[in-house]
Structure 1
Amino acid sequence: MDAPTVPPVAFLADAPGADLPAVRPKPTSTTGQQETTHPLWRSPDGLVEVGVWECDPGHFTATRDGYDEVCQVLTGTATVRTEGGDAVELHPGSTLAMPAGWRGAWHIHSTLRKVYVVRTHPGGG
């Protein structure tokens, strides 16, 4: 029996300054924002993804339906408000965890770049 194959190492030398793919419209933006995502690694089962995301200033709504996300802010600032709840201020070095089912809004004050880890729940729930 062969040993399982280990996925390759993902590496991005300068995540805060790296070139990212072309921006595209942010679908849930209420202010016409642009975003880009650079996936770095996905688990063989497709349930975990690690990458870099960036979005320009403005406001958008967000939900975490069927997946958990943990992110660390690399550059920029934002206020994130949980639906019907508290707000947190994000800045470089901030870490945010949003469990499946989280709903809220982001107000990005200056272009924000984050490293994210997303874990999808099997079956989406």
Structure 2
Amino acid sequence: MAAHLTSSAPHIHDALTYDDLADWGDQPNCIEGQSKSSGRLLFKRPDPSVGGNSPETGLWVCTPGKWPLSIPRDEFCHFIAGRATYQRDNGEVIEVAPGTCVHFPAGWTGICTVHETMRNVYMLR
């Protein structure tokens, strides 16, 4: 399990089991359980011209719980472990499991329920 975060193309081998994760803390506003997040940032472009919303990509792990979710900018997720349900405010339900890819457009709002600790590779822009 190796990470090459200073490479010209930062990468992690075996992202499914990679465990050198930073503690990203408790998920705020939980309405059930207490989800805890951890992960590893692969890349974030330092660009003060976009108000701190620089593109970034990384690995995110989250334990079970339920919370309201508001996506501030476009986010692509490839789920590689666990199970979760995303229910949009309009009632649409998106079930995620290993192998699911989802693009959440900026402004997407709803509820996230993590049933089994999930792991995903994400990209924000």
TM category, shorter? 0.7 to 0.9
1:78 counterpart = 2:84: yes
After superposition, give the CA deviation of every residue in 1:10-40 in whole Å (9 maximum; x if it has no partner).
Answer: 1100111111123521113222211113110
Distance of 2:24 and 2:9 partners within structure 1: 26
1:10: which partner in 2? 10
Can you give the 5+ residue segments of structure 1 that lack an aligned partner in the other structure? Answer: 1-6, 120-125
Q: Given residue 13 of structure 2, which amino acid in structure 1 is its aligned partner?
A: A
3-state SS, counterpart of residue 47 of structure 1: coil
Q: Given residue 117 of structure 2, which amino acid in structure 1 is its aligned partner?
A: T
Q: 1:36 is matched with which residue: 22, 27, 38? A: 38
Q: 1:49 is matched with which residue: 56, 60, 70? A: 56
Distance of 2:46 and 2:9 partners within structure 1: 13
CA contact (8 A) 1:52 1:116 kept: yes
1:22 counterpart = 2:23: yes
Q: Extract structure 1 runs of 4+ deviating beyond 4 A.
A: none
1:109 counterpart = 2:112: no
Q: Percent same amino acid at aligned positions? A: 31
2:69: which partner in 1? 62
TM-score by length of 2: 0.82
Distance of 1:23 and 1:69 partners within structure 2: 18
Q: Given residue 57 of structure 1, which amino acid in structure 2 is its aligned partner?
A: P
User: How far does residue 64 in structure 1 lie from its aligned partner after superposition?
Assistant: 1.2
User: How far does residue 51 in structure 1 lie from its aligned partner after superposition?
Assistant: 0.3
3-state SS, counterpart of residue 22 of structure 1: strand
Q: Given residue 40 of structure 1, which amino acid in structure 2 is its aligned partner?
A: L
